[in-house]
Structure 1
C-alpha cells in the first residue's frame, strides 16, 4: 500500500494483471474514491506496457457492488472467529468420523501462490488428504502430464522472447488473438518485422486464424494424427537431429514406428484430419525447412479425451529435431489463468506434492520432514471431476471451495451443483456475495480479498514470478485466503506450523522447500528467494525460475543440451496412437465446442462489471455454420435450444462464415447469475483424459433446434429491474451509470413491473404500435434518462448501443421522441457495437473512417485509435475493410 500526503497524488503501485497466464505488469493508481486508474507497466518484461482490453478495463471492475463483505454461517452474519470455528468444527467432525478421504479443497488458478501453498500444506501434510485440486485441472493439466511423460518434470522449456526470434510460429488449438492478445501482438510484430510465418491449426476460423499465413481447419480431435504425420515426414525428409536423439532421448524408434502406422505421409495425414493434402504438405515442408520453430498450444489441445497424447505428439517433433531449449525454438504451453503455473509449483493438483514433487516414497518423506507433518498424504487424491462425483455419492463430507465457481464451470454443472447440497460442511471463500456456487448451499461464507487488495506472487507461462501488490484496503471484513487457511489450521491443532505473520513468510517457506535437498535433480528451485527479508520481498522484481541459491537471475531455457529430469537424464518420446473420432450419434449429431470470448473472463464476476467489456458481445450465443443453420432452420440473430445428454441452454444464434460443418461453439462465461438459460457447463459431458483427468470440453455430442419468441427487446435502468415472466429468456449486461437487460419472451413485459423503482414525478414518454407488437418507453427524472424499455418483434441493436451510453444523462425531448417513433437513433449510425474495447471505438466510427478514405488497419488506427493497443480487434477491422472494398467492386 502506498502511503502519501493528503493532498499528494498517490504513486502508482506496480502489480500484476489477474487475468490470463501472460502475466502482464500493471501500474495502478488509487483515485481516493475506492477505485483506481490502470495502465500497463512499461518496465515489466511480460508486456512492456501493453495491456489487452480486459486489462485496460480493470479500473471499471473495482466497485464494491455485489461483494461479500463479512463472514456468514447458515445465512447469518457472524464474526470471523465464529465462522472459522464453524469451518474447523465441520472438517474435524468429518476427519474423526470418516477419515481423510472424506474431506477436500477445490482451488483456483486465480489464487496467489502463497494461498495455494497454505492450502496444500494443511490438507496434504496435516490433515492427511490429497483431495486438493483446482480449476486449473480444467485448462492445463494435460500439458502438465505431457511434460512429465516427456521431460520427467512439468517444465516449460522456453521464454516469451522465443516468439520474437522464431521464424515459424505454429499455434495449435489456441485463439491467442483473443485469449492471449498481448503475446499475440509480439507474434504479429515478428511477422511484420522479421517475416516470421504463422500457421494456425484449429477447426474454427478464429481471429487468430484470420491473421495466419496458413490455416489448417482440421477435424476436431485429430491433432495427434497431424503431428504423427509430421514426425513421419521429418524422418523421411532427413530432418531428424540424430545426434540429439542419440545423446538425449529414449523411445524414438517406437514413437516413429507408431507415427508411420497412423499417418505415413501427407496424403494419409490429410485424410485422417479432414484437410487438403496440399495444405498438409505445405505445413510439413515449412516445419521441416525452418530451424527456429515454436509450437504454441492451449485449450484446443488440452481439453480432450486424448489431451496428453496430443501434447506428446507435439513434443515428439521438437525432441526428434533437437528444436528445444534454444533461442527461437521449442514447444510452449499457453496457460489460461494468472497463477495456473504457481499452483503447479506448490502442488495445487491432486496428483502432485509441493515444489514439483510427486507421490513417490522419497518425495513424500522429504516433504513430510520439511513440514514436520504429522499426517502426510501418501497417495494421489481425487481429481476435479472424480472429486465432485464422490461428493455426489456422499463419500466426501466436507469441502472448501476457494476463489472459483465449480457449480457453473465444471462438466455436467447441474449435477455438480446438486452434489454440493449433500455436503455436511461446505465452506466457500469468495469475493462475491452471490455466485452459482455460493447459492448452491454454502454453509460458511468467508469474504476473501480481491485483486487490488491481495498481496503475494503469481507465476506466468514463461516461469516468471511477479508480485501482485495491494493498492486498495480490503473492504469490510475481507481477508487474505492464506490467512483464513492458517486460522483454521490453528483451530485444528496445527497453529505452530501455520504461525505466519505476513505473506512474505509464506513465500520464504515455499522457496525454501523448493531448495530443500535439491541438488539440481528437480527443475523447480527458487532457493535464491528463500532469504528475502520483508523489504526485499516487497520490492521483488519479476524473476524467472530456476533461481537456485548462488545462481545468476537471468533469462533461462531448458534442455538445449539435454539434462532432463528423468532417472537417466533422457527425454522420452512417446509412441502415440491417434484415436479416431467417435461416430456421430443420431440423437446428438453435432459436437459442441466451448471456449472464451475476447472481452470476458471465466464466469464474469469481475469482467461482468465493466460496461466497456460488455459492449462487444453482450449476450450468450451459439456459433453455427451457414449450412447447418439452414438445415436446422436457425436464423442469424434468432434463438436456438442446444441440448446434450446432461443439460440444455437457449442461446442467441450467430451464423458464421467458415464455421466447420457439424460443429457448434458456445462461450463459457454466462451463469445463472447473469443469464436465464445459458449455463454451457451444464451441457458438457464429464469424459476426461485418462492420464491427466482433464475434461473434454471441445466435443460434447449435442443437438440444436430453433426457439421462437413473440417479442424481444431490452431495458435500461439506473436502479435495477423487477422480474420478467417465468419462461422469458434474458441476459444481464453492464452499462454506464446503471444496468442493462436483454430479453425475449412471448408477451411484452409490463413497464411498472420491470421497472419497479419508478416515482410519481417521473415523466414517461412512450410509443406503442400494437399491430407490430412494438412498445417503447423512456423514463425521465429531473430531465435525466432514468430508464427505458424497448419491445418489438426483432432485435433493437441501434437504440441499444445508443441508449446504453445515455443512461443518467439529459436527452432532449426531440431526440428521444424521434428515437421512440423511429425505433432507431439518428445518431446511432456513428455508434453501433463496440469493436475496440481498449479505446472505446464503436463500429460506426470505424465505418466512417473507412468511408473517409482509410484504406488499411493502420490508417483506421491513426484516425480512431482502434486496434492500436492490444490488437485483438484488428481481425474485425480488416473484415470491415474487406467488406467495404467488396462493396465498392460490386456491380451496381
Structure 2
C-alpha cells in the first residue's frame, strides 16, 4: 500500500462477494480501505476459501479484478443525444417516448434487451415492469446466446428448467464427458477441480468431444474430434448402443419415463454410420460407447458447442436421452450438466429473464400461470403471449414493428450474429436507450439516451451459478458520479411511467424477498424452483446471506440455517404432467451455413483464456493481454499453404453475410484443428480493433425452439490481404497520439499504461514511406526527439521527450516477430538507461527471447518451461516447484500439461522418476 495512503488510513474491512465472470460463481474476498477523507479503494483481493464453488481458488481473470476496476471509460452521467442531463429529465424523456409509442403502436412496439451480467434483483425489476405493467413480453437477454437451448431441452425432458447436477458430481464420477466445452479456458476453476479429481482417482476417465483439440483436451483420455455440428449423430448412436447393452436400465425407463420407443426408433444408427456422419474412426466411437456403458457413474458436461446451434435443443436432448436410458441421473456423479457462460444466466432464468418465460419458472403461455403472476404482482396487465427472442427482436427493430429498445449491460453489435443487420436496426429505431458502465462501445455509438449503471464493485444483490447456488454480490464501493443500480433505474423509470405502487423499492433485499415469495406462491410442489424460506428475509439476514443451493422452500427451513437441497430426481419424480421424464426423438440436422466452392472453410468461435466477452473489463489490464494480445484466425498449416499464407500475414475473411474488407485478421497456425476448419475468438470489437468483429460472418440461423443463434458454425472464404507494410506502435497512454486512422486494419491492447497497436497497411490508402513520414511528423510536432534505423526490411523508430521514451514504432514489409512485451517495456524508460543501438536493431533483452508467456501470474515463458521439462521436470507439479508456473490461479495448467506431453517424450525414464513420483507424469 502507498505510504501516503497508509498514513491517512481510517479503516479497513473485508467483504465477501462473487466474481462477475463465468457461471462458476466463485467466491471472492476483498479488502476495502477508506481514508480519513472518506476516499475508498479496494486494496486486496483473493478467493474466498469458504465458498463451495471455488474454495479459495481464482482464475487469472478473477485474480486480476482489481486491475480492471478503475474509472477509465466510465459513463458517469445521464446523456441525451450527447448532452448531459439530470436523472429526472432522462426518465421523463424516455417515459414520454415510450408512452407515445405504446399509445400509437401498442405495447409490443417497445422492448428490452438485457444481460446475464445483471443481478437477479435487476432482472426481476425489468421483467416485472415489462410483462406486468407495460404488457409486453419483449424482454430478452444475451443469455439467449449461450444457454437457452439447454433451458429448452431441460424443460422438454424434465418439465422444468432444472440442472440436475452439482460441482461435486464432477469429482465423484467414473466418466466425465466434456462436450463442446473448452473448460480449461472458459471455466478454469471447475477444470482444476476435474484435474484434481482425476489425480486422486486414477481410474476416472475423461472424454473430450469437440471438433477442435484445445487446452481441455490435455486432460482427456480420449478426444473425439468430430465433424462440426454432428453431435446429435454421436449421441443418437450412443442411445442405440445403450439399448442393446447391459447398461440399459429397463426398470427406470419403464417406471419413470415416457417415449423411449419413439426416441430409440429415431436413433437406430450403427457405429459405422455414426463414424461416417461424425467423420471420425469407428474404433474411437466404439471406445467412447464402451466407456459410457461400462462406467457405473457418468457426467455429460456441455456448453456452447452444443447450445450455439440451429439444433441445439435437439443436441442437448440427445445427451439427456442417454442418461435416461442408462438410469445415470438423480445419483451422485451422474447426469447431463449444462454449464452457463455468464455469472447470472441462471438467476435470469429464475425470474423469467427470457421472452418466453414468466417469473419463478412459470410459463407465459399458461393461462393459470399468467393469472397467478398478475394477481401476485397486483399489476394492471400481464403479457398475453411470448415475446420476441433476440434475433427476432432485432428483426422487428429493422422492419419497424418495434420502435424503441432499452439495452442493459450488453453489447449486441459484437455478440449478436449478422452485425450488419443489427447496425441497420439500431439506426432505424426511434429510441435506443443504453444502460451501461462504459462511456464508449460499439452499441453505445447508436444510443439516443445513455444511462450510467453501477459496476461489479458497486452492485449489490444476488447471483445464481451453474449448480443452482445463490450467492451475494455485495456493493463494496460507493457508486461514482451519478451511476445507479439497474434495479434502481428501472424502478425510478417505472414511477415516471406512473407505476409508483409496484416499484417503491429502496433496497435490493425487498426485491429479493418478493422474488422468494413468488417462488412459493401457490406452489404445491408444482415447480421445483422454490426459495420461499426467504420471503420475509430481514435486511440483516440478506446482508449476511451465505451461499445456498435451491430449492429452499418455506416448510422445514429457517433463515439462519440453510441446508443444501436434496439431490434432484433421486426419487425418479420429474416435473412433467405425469411426473415422468420425456425421451425426445431426435432427427439430427446439419448446420445452416454449409461450405461451398465460394465459402470452403468452416469457422468456429469461442473465448480465450484471459479475455471475457467484449473486453469491457479484461481489456483494461495489461496482465490479461500478455497471454494472447490480439485477435487472429487459427488455421492448419496445410490450409494456409493452399492460400499461400504464412503465420502473421493478414487475411480477409468473408461469408455470405459480409464483405471481405469487414473482417481482417492475422493468421495463426494451429495443427490441432481439423482440415478445412478455422477458429477465431469472439472478444474483439471496434474499441479494440478496426475489423475483428466476427459477428458479421454469421447468419441469423437459430434453433426453432430456443431461438439460440448458431454462433459456432459459419461458412467462410479466406483471401490473402494485400499488405504492403506491417506496423507495431507502443506508446505512452499519458500522451498518446491517435494513430489508428493512418492504418487500414489495426488492433489495440493495453499493457501497464502502454497502448499497443498492431496494424496493417494495404495498397488501397497510401504508401509505407508516407505513413513513416506522417508518424515522424506527428511526434515532431510534440517536441519529441526521433531516433530511427532500418535493418534489412525492419524500420524501428524510437521517440523520446525530456530524455524519456514515449513511443517505439516498428515497420516491415513482412510480419513482425519481435517480442511485444519487450517493446512495451521500453516506454517510460530513460533514454540513457537503455541499450539504444540494440533497441534500434531489434535485439531484445535475453529474458524476452524465451517465447510467449504461458503463466501470466509469474511471467514464465514457453522456452523456460520447455528447458525445464527437458531437464527432467516432466510434470505440471514439478514445473510448479521449479518455476512457480501454475501455482497461483492455475489457469495455465492445461497448457503446461500440453507442453509436458509434447516435450517429455525423449527424457529417460530414470531421469523422470528421480524428480517426482511416476503417478505425476503426464
TM-score by length of 2: 0.92
Kindly state the Cα deviation for residue 818 of structure 1 after the two structures are TM-superposed.
1.1
Q: Does 1:835 align with 2:854?
A: yes
Tell me, in whole angstroms, the C-alpha distance in 2 between the residues paired with 1:860 and 1:655. Answer: 26
- In structure 1, distance between residues paired with 2:227 and 2:899: 28
Q: 1:566 aligns with which of 549, 567, 576?
A: 576
The alpha-carbon deviation at position 571 of structure 1 amounts to 0.5
Partner of 1:867 in structure 2? 886
Checking the alignment, whether the CA contact within 8 Å between 1:132 and 1:382 is kept in structure 2 is yes
Match of 1:715 in 2: 729
Question: Is 1:820 aligned to 2:840, yes or no?
Answer: yes
Describe the shift of the 1:765–1:723 C-alpha distance in structure 2 as closer, same or farther (beyond 3 A).
closer
CA contact (8 A) 2:776 2:786 kept: no
Q: CA deviation at 1:37?
A: 2.8
Distance 2:44 2:386 in 1: 44
Shift of 1:266: 1.7
**Corresponding residue SS for 1:486:** helix
* Equivalent residue, structure 2, for 1:213: 221
2:535 is aligned to 530
1:858 pairs, out of 847, 852, 877, with: 877
Does the CA contact (< 8 Å) of 2:870 and 2:904 recur in 1? no
Alignment of 1:437-836 (within 5 A): 437-440=443-446, 442-552=447-557, 553-580=563-590, 584-647=595-658, 648-718=662-732, 719-725=735-741, 727-746=743-762, 747=768, 749-750=771-772, 753=775, 756=778, 762-769=784-791, 772-810=792-830, 812-821=832-841, 823-829=842-848, 831-836=850-855
Deviation at 1:200, TM superposition (A): 0.3
Shift of 1:378: 1.4
- The CA deviation at 1:658 is 2.4
8 Å CA contact retained: 1:723, 1:754: no
Which stretch of structure 1 is more off in the superposition, 120-129 or 726-735? 726-735
- What per-residue deviation string (whole Å, max 9, x for no partner) do you get for residues 60-105 of structure 1? 1011111111100111011111111111111111111110110000
In 2, the alpha carbon distance for the partners of 1:534 and 1:757 equals 58
User: 8 Å contact 1:856–1:881 — kept in the other structure?
Assistant: yes
Distance verdict in 2 for CA 1:757–1:49, change over 3 Å: farther
Which of 251, 254, 260 is matched with 1:246 structurally? 254
Aligned to 2:360: 355
Q: Structure 1's 110 and 760: CA in aligned 2 closer, same or farther, altered over 3 A?
A: closer
The CA deviation at 1:790 is 1.4
Q: Structure 1 residues 811, 11: CA separation in 2 closer, same or farther (over 3 Å shift)?
A: farther
Whole-Å Cα distance in 1 between the matches of residues 551 and 43 of structure 2? Answer: 34
Q: Alpha carbons of 1:306 and 1:182: their partners in 2 closer, same or farther (altered >3 Å)?
A: same
**Counterpart in the other structure of 2:79:** 72
- Alpha-carbon displacement from aligned partner over 1:632-656 (angstroms, at most 9, x marks no partner): 2221221111101112411111121
Mean CA deviation greater in 132-141 or 83-92: 83-92
Structure 1 counterpart of 2:442: 436
Instruction: Tell me which of 338, 346, 349 is aligned to 2:343.
Output: 338
TM-aligned CA deviation for residue 728 of structure 1: 2.0
* Mapped partners of 2:512, 2:881: distance in 1: 45
Give 1:725 deviation, angstroms. 4.9
Compared CA separation, residues 494 and 755, structure 1 to 2 (3 A): farther
Instruction: Give the match for residue 240 of structure 2.
Output: 232
Aligned partner of 2:401 in structure 1 is: 395
> CA–CA distance in 1 between the matches of 2:897 and 2:363?
48
Q: Deviations over 1:749-794 (max 9, x none)?
A: 347648957676644332235xx44321223344433221111233
Distance 1:850 1:798 in 2: 25
SS in 2 for 1:710: strand
Change in 2 beyond 3 A, CA 1:691/1:817: same
SS in 2 for 1:509: helix
Provide the rounded CA distance (Å) in 1 between the counterparts of 2:427 and 2:232: 40
Aligned Cα RMSD in Å?
2.0
Q: Cα offset for 1:273?
A: 1.1
Moved more, 506-515 or 576-585: 576-585
CA contact (8 A) 2:819 2:849 kept: no
- Residue 737 of structure 1 and its aligned partner are, at CA, apart by 2.1
* Superposition deviation, residue 886 in structure 1: 6.2
Q: Count matched residues.
A: 879
Equivalent residue number for residue 147 of structure 1: 154
- Find the aligned partners of 2:876 and 2:832 in 1 and give their Cα distance: 36
Cα offset for 1:145?
Answer: 0.3
Q: For residue 88 of structure 1, what is the aligned residue in structure 2?
A: 95
Once the two structures are TM-superposed, the CA of residue 274 in structure 1 deviates from its matched residue by: 0.9
Cα deviation for residue 837 of structure 1 reads 2.1
TM-superposition CA deviations, 1:435-473 (whole Å, max 9, x none)? 110002x11100000010100110000000001111122
Contact 1:736 1:807 in 2 (8 A): no
In 2: Cα distance, 1:266 partner to 1:871 partner: 38
SS at match of 1:493: coil
- CA deviation profile, 1:514-535 (whole Å, cap 9, x unmatched): 1111111101100011211111
Deviation at 1:320, TM superposition (A): 1.2
Contact kept in structure 1, 2:357 and 2:386, CA below 8 Å: yes
8 Å contact from structure 2 (residues 591, 713) kept in 1: no
Contact 2:648 2:816 in 1 (8 A): no
Deviation at 1:414, TM superposition (A): 1.7
> Following TM superposition, by how much is the alpha carbon of 1:882 offset from its aligned partner in structure 2, in angstroms?
4.6
Deviations 1:806-832 (A, max 9, x none): 4324464552321212x1303344554
Return closer, same or farther for 1:346/1:814 CA change in 2, 3 Å cut-off. closer
- Residue aligning to 2:920: none
Question: Residue 798 of structure 1: SS of its match in structure 2?
Answer: coil
| Residues 162-211 of structure 1 deviation map (CA, whole Å, 9 limit, x = unaligned) | 01100110001011011001001111111111121100000001111122
Shift in Å at residue 35 of structure 1?
A: 4.5
CA distance in 1, matches of 2:685, 2:273: 43
In structure 2, what is the Cα distance between the partners aligned to 1:247 and 1:491? 55
Secondary structure in 1 matching 2:663: strand
Secondary structure of residue in 1 paired with 2:569: coil
1:580 positional shift = 4.4
Q: CA deviation at 1:31?
A: 5.3
Q: 1:368 aligns with which of 374, 399, 404?
A: 374
1:133-282 aligned at under 5 Å gives the runs 133-195=140-202, 196-260=204-268, 263=269, 265-282=270-287
Contact persistence 1:715–1:740 (CA under 8 A)? yes
For the Cα contact (< 8 Å) 1:796–1:824, is it kept in 2? no
**Structure 1 CA distance for aligned equivalents of residues 674 and 72 of structure 2:** 41
State the Cα distance separating 1:321 from its structure 2 match: 1.4
Cα separation, 2, equivalents of 1:761 and 1:872: 44
- Cα 1:805–1:726 change in 2 (3 A) is closer
In the alignment, structure 1 segments of 5+ residues that lack a partner are none
Alignment-derived partner of residue 560 in structure 2 = none
Q: TM-score, normalised by structure 1?
A: 0.95
